[in-house]
Amino acid sequence: MNIKKDEIKTFIYEGNDKMIDFNVKKTPKCPKEFKAQLRLINGKIVDAPPNWRQKIWEWWFWARRNEIEYNLIMNLVK
């Protein structure tokens, strides 16, 4: 399935903190347990094809990792 960026309204993802590795400098391979879907402009929800799944994984991995690190630092400062 070839989905273009202008066909996507938003994306849906499901991951957990056990997927985060703090000992890497590059994005690790997307785990099979990570779920990613696309909500299309026409209202249809589809499982994200591999290229979109990888993009969503990379975004989520770094955003969640940064959030966890920030929260840890803020708790140490209190």
What does the pLDDT look like over 25-75, one tens digit per residue?
999 999 999 999 999 999 999 999 999 999 999 999 999 999 999 999 999
Alpha carbon distance 43, 14 (integer Å): 19
Q: pTM surpassing 0.85?
A: yes
3-class secondary structure, 29: coil
Q: Is the dihedral of CA 1, 46, 50, 57 positive or negative?
A: positive
Q: Which two three-digit tokens encode residue 51?
A: 């290229």
- Residues 30 and 16: beta-carbon distance below 8 Å: no
Q: Which two three-digit tokens encode residue 43?
A: 């209202």
Confidence of residue 2 (pLDDT cuts 50, 70, 90): confident
What does the pLDDT look like over 13-28, one tens digit per residue?
999 999 999 999 999 9
3-state secondary structure 32-76: CCCEEEEEECCCCEEECCHHHHHHHHHHHHHHHHHHHHHHHHHHH
Asked if the model's pLDDT at residue 77 lies above 90, the reply is no
Q: What is the pLDDT of residue 78?
A: 74
